Amino acid sequence: MILRKFELGVNSLPQVVNNDPGFLALKNKIFKDTRLDCNQYKDPYLMRRFNVRMRATGVKTYEEYTSVLTKTPDEYDNLLSEITINVTQFFRDTMVFKSLREDIIPLLIYEKCMKNDVSIKIWSAGCSSGEEPYSMAIMLHDLLGEEFDHFKVTIVASDIDDEVLEAARIGTYLARQVVNVPKDLLARYFTKEGDLYCVNDEIKRMVQLKKVDLFSQTGGFGFDMILCRNVVIYFNREMQDKLYMKFVKALRPGGYFVMGNTETLVGEATQYLESIRSRERIYQKSINDDYQK
């Protein structure tokens, strides 16, 4: 689940811990009813998201909103969508994808050819409605060209939100979501139906969509590249450390990790991942490191 990008100025807000009994009770109720652990998120972020739904339902206190959830369980759908909502695009953050297309992916393909290794394995963690993994699929299909059929490309796309995963399976997008797609790729890999753009089946077949809770599950192991962008920043420091080490474990030696441009690598993972494109937040796991603890 890629979450909504930080609102303007959020990084300057103090990291307030809200000990309001009503707030704590609301978080506990959400966990009890949905198994979503709100303690993974920073309190200021949750307060903003809760307040959106409180205004929408016409209540002013956490206790009143807890009552709304009790009386109207369907409100959970709106609340969980608000917590995990995302507005994203194909090839979002153009400089990141420029670096991947011009430097990282060609080098990865070259290394695979030198080793006679025909497998390329990528994980898009927190894929939302599919724009990121489909962007990677389009890029790989285009770069491999006539050699594509000689490779086994696996792109795992995971999210915790069933609704956005279903949207990704459908693969239909608005014009604003494909605005960064070069015109030649838009013509090759999409079919226009009215005002919508539909990802072609050959690209859909490259992507395996899975429901994955990042804190209790994994997308797999031995990945050549993992992308987890603008997700980790919403979690507290302890959860960030755990997630980064999960990605270290899931990468093969020499594999690449791509994070969001608002995020900073922290914790034990800094011992295993080296920055190779600092502005684009692209890291590489040591070629001699086979961390599997």
Per-residue pLDDT 10s for the chain (293 aa) are 333 332 323 333 334 457 889 999 999 999 888 877 787 777 888 898 899 899 999 999 999 999 999 999 889 878 876 776 555 789 988 899 999 999 999 999 999 999 999 999 999 999 989 999 999 999 999 999 999 999 999 999 999 888 889 999 999 998 888 989 999 999 999 999 998 999 999 999 999 999 999 988 999 999 999 999 988 877 888 889 999 999 999 999 999 999 988 788 989 999 999 999 998 999 999 987 655 54
The answer on 69 and 131 residing in a single domain is: no
* Three-point CA angle 193, 198, 199, nearest 5°: 155
Q: The dihedral of CA 85, 89, 91, 95: what is its sign?
A: negative
CA distance 41 to 46: 7
In a domain, 233, yes or no: yes
Q: What is the pLDDT of residue 19?
A: 80
Q: Which residues contact 123 (CB under 8 A, 6 or more apart)?
A: 155, 156, 157, 158, 219, 220, 223, 225, 226, 227, 250
Q: Which CATH number covers residue 216?
A: 3.40.50.150
The answer on 193 and 118 residing in a single domain is: yes
In a domain, 55, yes or no: yes
| Domain residue limits at 190 | 94-285
Of 50, 65, 84, the residue at which a domain comes to its end is 84
| 186-208 pLDDT, tens digit each | 999 999 999 899 999 999 999 99
In a domain, 290, yes or no: no
The answer on 110 and 211 residing in a single domain is: yes
Of 84, 116, 145, the residue at which a domain comes to its end is 84
The answer on 144 and 62 residing in a single domain is: no
* Three-point CA angle 130, 134, 137, nearest 5°: 150
In a domain, 3, yes or no: no
Of 54, 84, 114, the residue at which a domain comes to its end is 84
Q: Which CATH number covers residue 14?
A: 1.10.155
In a domain, 188, yes or no: yes
Q: What is the value of pTM for the model shown?
A: 0.74
Q: Do strands 119-125 and 223-228 pair parallel, antiparallel, or not at all (unpaired)? A: parallel
Q: What is the pLDDT of residue 8?
A: 29
The answer on 108 and 39 residing in a single domain is: no
Count: domains in the chain: 2
Closest CA to 62 of 27, 110, 13, 101: 27
In a domain, 281, yes or no: yes
The answer on 281 and 203 residing in a single domain is: yes
CA distance 204 to 209: 10
Q: Is 44 in a helix, a strand, or coil?
A: helix
Q: What is the pLDDT of residue 77?
A: 78
In a domain, 65, yes or no: yes
Q: What is the pLDDT of residue 256?
A: 98
In a domain, 5, yes or no: no
The answer on 183 and 46 residing in a single domain is: no
